[in-house]
A = this chain, B = another copy of it.
Amino acid sequence: MAIINEKYSTIIQDTVEQLSGGEHYLSPCFFKQNGQPLPSEKKLKEIVQLTRSVLFPGYFGNSRINAHTIRYSIGISTERIYELLCNQIHAGLCFECCYDEELFSGNRKKAQDLAASFIAKLPELRLSLETDVEATYNGDPAAESMGEVIYCYPAIRAISNYRIAYTLLNLNIPILPRIISEMAHSETGIDIHPGAKIGKSFTIDHGTGVVIGATAIIGERVKLYQGVTLGAKSFPLDEEGNPIKGIPRHPIIEDDVIIYSNATILGRITIGKGAVIGGNIWVTDNVPAGERIVQMPVKP
């Protein structure tokens, strides 16, 4: 609303010159040139919402479906997912690449293939998520119905995003899986790296502060509480002191394990089948199957 006077105008100009004068200090890493499209968080959100509406029909998106009309609703959403995903995958493929029209145009074709591959995996994705919903419902005495779990529980939101991101990562699509898992991280405080492998009937209670690292492996029917970390203890550096990428460094959690709130499990250790880990503890060694470990309670 205010008028820009000469003085302020000069300050603005000077700042613009400094910020756009690349010669001086502008490292190429911090200046992305030549306009390849960037992945759009907004569009990825729409993709996730549409996917949810297709996997849990009637709970998300169009609520009016019935046995007759469900095809319309799922059909139109699936087409839309395909369309949006083509563009986003294209943007993802170009995220790190240099300026090259050939490559740009080849990536467009590739993106269409990959989007179709993702679509083809939706029925499978749905079956996995159904087991997660059931496990969550059965594990929470406060849950009043499956519907409530699907509709309201942040764990289901985070696990949905994880399973979508995992599927995309396995198609070797760069950057998008990470953005999709960060979206859930931001909404729920649950940070599951899309590279982790997680079995069926997985559930997380409350969830804020949960961290699951990139090389973690989790069996079936595992339950985590808020604040649990499945992290790396340390990671080997290469000769130049940079971390070596891709080395297994996060825990293996076998079937039927329960881990209580704020427990920290670090390193490529194994928590054996059916073990129970109490809250607020720090575990850096293997735990045998069936074992039960807790912090020494502080007596008042």
Contacts and interface: CB of A to CB of B under 8 A. Distances in A.
A206 interface: yes
Given A69-B13, A70-B20, A243-B138, A4 B57 contact: no
* Chain A contact patch, size range: 35 or more
A192 B186 CA distance: 16
Interface string A198-227: 000000001011010110000000000111
Could you say how many copies of this chain the assembly holds? 6
A214 B283 CA distance: 29
Given A96-B147, A123-B19, A116 B30 contact: no
Interface in A113-169: 115-116, 119-120, 122-123, 126-127, 130, 133, 138-142, 144-148, 150-154
A22 B208 contact: no
B75 A4 contact: no
A33 B58 CA distance: 6
Interface string A74-99: 11101100110011000000011001
B282 A295 contact: yes
A119 B154 contact: no
A172 interface: no
A279 B74 CA distance: 46
Contacts of A82: 4, 8, 12
A219 to B, nearest CB: 18
A244 B143 CA distance: 11
